[in-house]
């Protein structure tokens, strides 16, 4: 207890310190620490104290993802034009900013996720919190889109739009990890194209007309 208060007065809060030590461990060793015991020993902290902030490494990673998201959103909202954006542009802006923030953590993320990037479908547990927060954010975008009629409401499907955007976020992440082009230009292009496609699909399309027509024929035959 004594050490903790001492640290608090001299330095930043331990939660932040744990996250930073964890990141630097991964950067230096290319993998996570063997155990929480070893990790806390390394950073000269009592294992017991560690548990008052996190209970597992997953918890730390989860916090890092949330931090990245928070940073992205605050950077986005600093842009004056952001409120004027259409839903499509908001989501594009989100991804472009997100990728920029990710760039600052690229080595760390590559060390942790490069090997498992092929199993994209399996969402690691530490992404769950990020996913939840993202879905909250995307539901705002989607709601706005529906109001402005940029996005068409469809039975059943509409509820899955958020999920679709989430899958897109994972796709972009995976693409970015493998991107070798300077300044990750290809990721930019991939974002642009995939988001345009997604919003085109969610918008009013020939398929809606077709279904409407089919329904009409069915009901009136």
Partner 1 sequence: MAEKLKEQESIPVSKVQRAAKFISTGAKVGGNYVKHYAKKIVDPKLEKEALHESNARDIYSSLSELKGSALKVAQMMSMDKNLLPRAYQDQFTMAQYSAPPLSYPLVVKTFQQNLKKTPDQIFDTFTRSAVNAASIGQVHQATKEGKLLAVKIQYPGVANSVSSDLKLVRPFALRLLNMNERELDHYMAEVEERLLEETDYILEVGRSREISEACSHIPHLNFPKYYDQWSGDRIITMDWIKGKHIKEWLETNPTQKEKNKIGQALWDFYDHQVHHLKQVHADPHPGNFIVQDDGNLGIIDFGCVKIIPEDFYQGYFALIKKDMLLNEDELNQVFYDLEFISDKDSPDEREFYKGAFREMISLLGKPFHSDRFDFADNRFFDQIFELGDRISNDKMFKKSRQARGSRHGLYINRTYFGLYNLLNQLEAEIDTTKPQWLQ
Q: What is the CA radius of gyration of the chain?
A: 22
Distance between CA atoms of 154 and 215, rounded to whole angstroms? Answer: 14
Which of residues 6, 27, 189, 207 is near partner 1 by CB under 8 A? 189
Q: In the stretch 133-152, what mask flags binding to partner 1 with x, by CB under 8 A?
A: --------------------
Query: Please, what is the end-to-end C-alpha distance for the chain in angstroms?
Result: 79
Closest separation in Å from C-beta 134 to partner 1: 15
Position of tokens 């230009």? Answer: 185
Distance between CA atoms of 103 and 110, rounded to whole angstroms? Answer: 10
Report helix, strand or coil for 114.
coil
Shorter beta-carbon distance to partner 1: residue 70 or 163: 163
Which of residues 7, 131, 154, 186 is near partner 1 by CB under 8 A? 186
Burial of 219 (0-12, 13-18, 19+ CB in 10 A): exposed
123 binds partner 1 (CB under 8 A): no
Task: For residue 65, give every residue at least 6 positions away whose Cβ sits within 8 Å of its Cβ, in sequence order, or none.
Answer: 126, 127, 129, 130
25 binds partner 1 (CB under 8 A): no
Which of residues 119, 121, 122, 155 is near partner 1 by CB under 8 A? 121
- Interface of this chain with partner 1, residues 41 to 80, rule: CB under 8 A: 79-80
Distance between CA atoms of 210 and 111, rounded to whole angstroms? Answer: 48
Which of residues 152, 171, 177, 203 is near partner 1 by CB under 8 A? 171
Shorter beta-carbon distance to partner 1: residue 12 or 160: 160
Closest separation in Å from C-beta 144 to partner 1: 15
Closest separation in Å from C-beta 85 to partner 1: 7
Position of tokens 């493998």? Answer: 178
Choose the stretch contacting partner 1; rule: CB under 8 A; options: 17-25, 44-52, 145-153, 192-200: 192-200
* Angle in degrees, 0-180, between the axes of helices 185-202 and 87-103, rounded to the nearest 10: 150
Which residues form the interface with partner 1 (CB under 8 A)? 79-81, 85, 88-89, 92-93, 96-97, 100, 121, 160, 163-164, 167-168, 171, 181-183, 185-186, 188-198, 201
């Amino acid at each position: 207890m004594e050490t903790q208060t001492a640290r608090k007065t001299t330095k930043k809060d331990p939660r932040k310190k744990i996250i930073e030590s964890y990141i630097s461990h991964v950067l230096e060793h290319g993998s996570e620490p063997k155990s929480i015991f070893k990790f806390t020993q390394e950073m000269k902290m009592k294992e017991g104290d560690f548990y008052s902030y996190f209970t597992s490494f997953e918890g730390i990673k989860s916090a890092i993802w949330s931090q990245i998201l928070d940073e992205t959103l605050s950077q986005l909202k600093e842009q004056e034009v952001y409120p004027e954006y259409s839903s499509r542009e908001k989501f594009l802006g989100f991804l472009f900013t997100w990728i920029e923030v990710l760039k600052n953590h690229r080595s760390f993320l590559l060390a942790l996720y490069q090997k498992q990037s092929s199993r994209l479908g399996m969402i690691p547990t530490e992404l769950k919190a990020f996913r939840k927060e993202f879905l909250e954010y995307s539901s705002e975008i989607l709601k706005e889109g529906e109001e402005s009629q940029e996005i068409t409401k469809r039975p059943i499907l509409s509820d899955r739009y958020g999920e679709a955007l989430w899958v897109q976020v994972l796709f972009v992440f995976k693409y970015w990890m493998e991107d070798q082009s300077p300044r990750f230009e290809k990721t930019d292009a991939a974002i642009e194209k995939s988001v345009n496609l997604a919003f085109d699909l969610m918008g009013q399309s020939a398929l809606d007309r077709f279904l409407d027509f089919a329904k009409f024929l069915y009901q009136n035959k």
